[in-house]
Amino acid sequence: MKILELTYTYQLFYTILTLIVLLVINIILKKTAKRIGDKGEIHITRIRLMFRYINILIVIIAIFLLAIVWGMDLGDLALIFSSVFAVIGVALFAIWSILSNITSGIIMFFNFPYKIGDKIRIHDKDMPIEALIEDIKAFHLHLRTDDGELITYPNNLILQKAVSLVQKDVFLDEGKNAL
């Protein structure tokens, strides 16, 4: 047992150090996302979605760093990562719209002038839409028309179309009218 401890002392030390540093980075990134979300009055479900993306990023970095710490050759590691990313790339190319919507969802988290509860008009020549934003998901928005129709609108399209604000905070205005 002592021989095992002496043999892997450096690896154990660097593993613990790596995990602590990544934990601190994870906390900092989540606090930053929370601060940006609170400042922009972003709904908590969208902030939690960003937390999931941060967790995935930290896990990928952890796997890479721990493989280096435990002595995996950089050439072998590059081969493994390039193979994995090639397979993922082919799979994502087959479903590029999903990747496009996820990327748009991330962009919308940091820079989208409308929020849940706003009534917007989407200026689409084929199908103009005027509706209330009920929810903003990773792939799409839930829009509710005045007729009660629920429209699921892809995130990538909302960034490509002209959108105007019809009324801000409709939920709040309805609550004031109810009192």
The 10s digit of each residue's pLDDT in 88-128 is 777 766 677 777 888 888 888 888 888 888 999 999 888 89
pTM: 0.57
Q: What is the DSSP letter of 152?
A: E
Q: What fold does the segment set 75-178 form as a domain? A: SH3 type barrels. (2.30.30)
Residue type, 173: D
Q: How sure is the predictor about 44, in pLDDT bands with cuts at 50, 70 and 90?
A: confident
Residue 66 clears pLDDT 60, i.e. is over it: yes
pLDDT, one tens digit per residue, over 137-153 is: 888 899 999 999 999 99
Q: Dihedral of the CA atoms 56, 59, 61, 65 (nearest 10)?
A: -170
Residue 179 clears pLDDT 50, i.e. is over it: no
Q: Could you state, in order of their start, the residue ranges of all structural domains in the chain? A: 1-72, 75-178
C-alpha angle 166-50-37 in degrees, rounded to nearest 5: 50
> What average pLDDT does the segment 46-55 reach?
89
